Structure 1
């Protein structure tokens, strides 16, 4: 699989509403949204010349109806879990061009997703306890099932960062930065933890690339701008630091960490009026009598 994958969600219990699983609404007025496995078929040519023959290839898809009525589909990989690029299709296309596969979901896909999620949850529990080698083992087993699983990649990357293994963490970083799903709101806590740990491990260039990727995908976010400012500060790029602190304060003038950080830079005479003007920040004020300390890690947004 080469594109983003995200099945952080708990799979629907096949013992529940079978109308939901199979995509067969119970009524026109109060129907459940489509969620389940569907299949498509395509004709493939095998061989060359006079030995050419046609075979029918069957592909299984996880289908999930969205709020706007379109359906998001994602292929099922060889390990029977949703993985790879997601795409959206019209609901009418799903009904006319795909076939529901309720038994395949119940007997094959549901158990595989449940087993994958169990590995990830066990890895997360080990990491929380500081049992990093056990956590690494569980996350690696999960990635053997789905190399693009967002939670497993974050978990393994954080495990390496917490062990100070920057080279291994960099390999995970290279994978995560290519996964759009890693920057979705549901992974916000893992996203923040990973970015902070990149910086703590002095991987400043990776942290900036990571945050820049998020900036290109997400709507404006003051906490993201604050984190970018922190990374630039570690690289001693003070003008860029002030610029992103100013962007954070444009969105949230009450952002305490950004306000304190910007004032600390002014108090330390690290910013002249020209730099402040270029960054869009107010000019320096007279420092308080009590010297402020540099913003610490508690200033990091969750």
Structure 2
């Protein structure tokens, strides 16, 4: 019997005392049909034991949250799960909900593919960073990272955080050319995301592309005028430009 397959974070609509309107869960697809769900707190930590729900009830009442990329730290104990009671039977109003809506099933499948894609690409990125440290494998690692930045299969806007993380890691390891590829990719996936503009500006500033960096900070400020970090970053860019006036174009990427 195959182990449970982790699908990601899902939600149920609710009106809670803290004002939130969703209850979040880790979700696994079980080999013997049905699903296991585990309720989460506001920090995405388990607050209850996992429980089993039927496929029909799951399809009717749970919705994927692909933008939340939290993952459980421990494996699901299927043996313990088998001892838990089945979720309460649906009420009369709940039973009227469609059991297996085609759009919902498609959404579940898309979320599953997106999660698996991210797991695979993060592992490939980790391996490429290790290869960068080996002189004989460095060029192959750079090529692998360039290919990763250009990946398109099963890529969706929810992966903006992944590309942002890759860009930030490469910027911190003094590889701005490669970082730029990932920063631009994150922005392509989320052109109205102020954080994507901010992170790209940091990479461009590190490369000496001060005018481009400032332009992205201005865009970030337009998208979120309340963020105090953006004006400080703009002041930093202007200071760097004054200190290094001859350096104001990004280097050509490989």
Larger radius of gyration: 1
TM-score normalised according to structure 1 size:
0.43
**TM-score using structure 2 length:** 0.50
